[in-house]
Amino acid sequence: MAKNQVSSNPHDQHHPVKLSRGDKIFNVCNYLVFILITLACIFPFYYLFINTISDNEMVRLGQIQLIPRGIHFENYVQVMKIDGIIDALFVSIARTVLGTLWTVGGCAFLGYLCTKQEMWLRKVWYRLIIITMYFSAGLIPWYMNLRMLGFLDNFWVYVIPGLVSPYNVILVKTFIEALPPSLEESATLDGAGYTRVFMSVIMPLITPILATLCIFSAVGQWNSFTDTMMLMPSGKYYTLQFLLYKYQNEASSLAALVRNTQDSSALGNLATKQTALSVRMTVAMVVTFPILLVYPFFQRYFVKGIMIGAVKG
In angstroms, the CA 252 to CA 282 distance is 13
Domain that includes residue 39, residue range: 2-52
Mean pLDDT (whole number) for 67-84: 78
From 103-117, 239-253, 295-309, the region with the lowest mean pLDDT: 295-309
Mean pLDDT (whole number) for 253-277: 51
| Confidence category of residue 188, pLDDT binned at 50, 70, 90 | confident
Burial 85-118 (b: 16+ CB within 10 A, else e): bebbbebbebbbebbbebbbebbbbbbbbbbeee
Residue 291 above 90 pLDDT?
no
Cα of 1 vs its chain's centroid, Å:
61
What size, in residues, is the chain?
313
Please indicate, yes or no, if residue 284 is contained in any of the structural domains: no
pTM of the model: 0.72
Task: Give the CATH number of the domain where residue 91 resides.
Answer: 1.10.3720.10
The answer on 97 and 21 residing in a single domain is: no
Number of domains in the chain: 2
The answer on 88 and 189 residing in a single domain is: yes
| Confidence category of residue 312, pLDDT binned at 50, 70, 90 | very low
Mean pLDDT (whole number) for 187-199: 81
Please indicate, yes or no, if residue 229 is contained in any of the structural domains: yes
The answer on 93 and 46 residing in a single domain is: no
The answer on 23 and 99 residing in a single domain is: no
From 27-41, 48-62, 71-85, the region with the lowest mean pLDDT: 71-85
Mean pLDDT (whole number) for 58-65: 80
Please indicate, yes or no, if residue 59 is contained in any of the structural domains: no
Residue 309 above 50 pLDDT?
no
The answer on 194 and 129 residing in a single domain is: yes
The answer on 155 and 34 residing in a single domain is: no
Please indicate, yes or no, if residue 293 is contained in any of the structural domains: yes
Cα–Cα distances (Å) from 188 to 78, 117, 192, 210, 248, in that order, read 59, 15, 5, 23, 56
Between 233 and 6, residue with greater pLDDT: 233
Cα of 310 vs its chain's centroid, Å:
19
pLDDT given at position 82: 67
Q: If you average pLDDT over every residue of the chain, what do you get?
A: 78
The answer on 204 and 99 residing in a single domain is: yes
Mean pLDDT (whole number) for 244-259: 62
| Confidence category of residue 9, pLDDT binned at 50, 70, 90 | low
pLDDT given at position 260: 54
In angstroms, the CA 152 to CA 147 distance is 6
Please indicate, yes or no, if residue 172 is contained in any of the structural domains: yes
The answer on 209 and 104 residing in a single domain is: yes
pLDDT given at position 277: 77
Please indicate, yes or no, if residue 195 is contained in any of the structural domains: yes
Residue 310 above 50 pLDDT?
no
In angstroms, the CA 224 to CA 146 distance is 17
| Confidence category of residue 306, pLDDT binned at 50, 70, 90 | low
From 140-149, 188-197, 222-231, the region with the lowest mean pLDDT: 188-197
In angstroms, the CA 127 to CA 125 distance is 5
pLDDT given at position 37: 94
The answer on 295 and 148 residing in a single domain is: yes
The answer on 304 and 192 residing in a single domain is: yes
Please indicate, yes or no, if residue 123 is contained in any of the structural domains: yes
In angstroms, the CA 312 to CA 310 distance is 6
| Confidence category of residue 267, pLDDT binned at 50, 70, 90 | very low
In angstroms, the CA 135 to CA 175 distance is 25
55-64: list long-range contacts, CB under 8 Å, 24+ apart. Answer: 56/272, 56/273, 56/274, 56/275, 56/277, 56/278, 57/272, 57/275, 59/275, 59/277, 59/278, 59/281, 60/275, 60/277, 60/278
Please indicate, yes or no, if residue 60 is contained in any of the structural domains: no
Mean pLDDT (whole number) for 117-122: 84
The answer on 141 and 85 residing in a single domain is: yes
The answer on 160 and 39 residing in a single domain is: no
The domain boundary, picked from 16, 34, 52, lies at 52
From 43-57, 189-203, 227-241, 252-266, the region with the lowest mean pLDDT: 252-266
| Confidence category of residue 264, pLDDT binned at 50, 70, 90 | very low
pLDDT in tens, 143-164: 898 889 888 888 999 999 888 8
